[in-house]
Amino acid sequence: MNKSTDELMKILESKKTYEEFFSEAVGELYFSSVSEYLEVLLSEKALNKSEVIRKANLDKNYAYQIFSGTRTNPSRNKILMLAFGMGLTVPETRKLLKVCNLTDLYPRSPRDSVIIFCLNNKLSLIQTNEKLEDFGQDILD
């Protein structure tokens, strides 16, 4: 979040559609809940929940509770698993962690550096867990 409110206002006023503004400024916006941000990501990436949940290897009930907002404090691992299930970028994942009030990805952490590498290279959750195991780090589960 580097832009001032005035800068965001100018960007918003210069766009012909809200979609243009949103795609440029999503990293600068505040979201009132985890479920709100997840819905935005689903819509923006044209994803469906069931496919994301399958790719994230999450229990369906647990994952739907996160999406609906009834599960208010999901663990960092579960949110990272959702990030892989959604195919998020590193900035999108960092924003999701921030919205969840969870610890940011830290490249000096061996485990986080593997996760960042895997996100950057669009590896699946399974491939990521294999890399984590290869480097003696706890898997995402």
Q: Domains of the chain by range and CATH?
A: 1-30 (no CATH), 33-134 (1.10.260)
Tens digit of each residue's pLDDT (9 = 90 or more) over 14-64: 988 877 787 677 667 777 788 999 998 998 899 999 999 999 999 999 999
Higher-pLDDT residue of 131, 1:
131
Distance of CA 44 to the CA centre of its chain: 12
pTM of this prediction exceeds 0.85: no
Tens digit of each residue's pLDDT (9 = 90 or more) over 71-120: 888 999 999 999 999 999 999 999 899 888 899 999 999 999 999 999 99
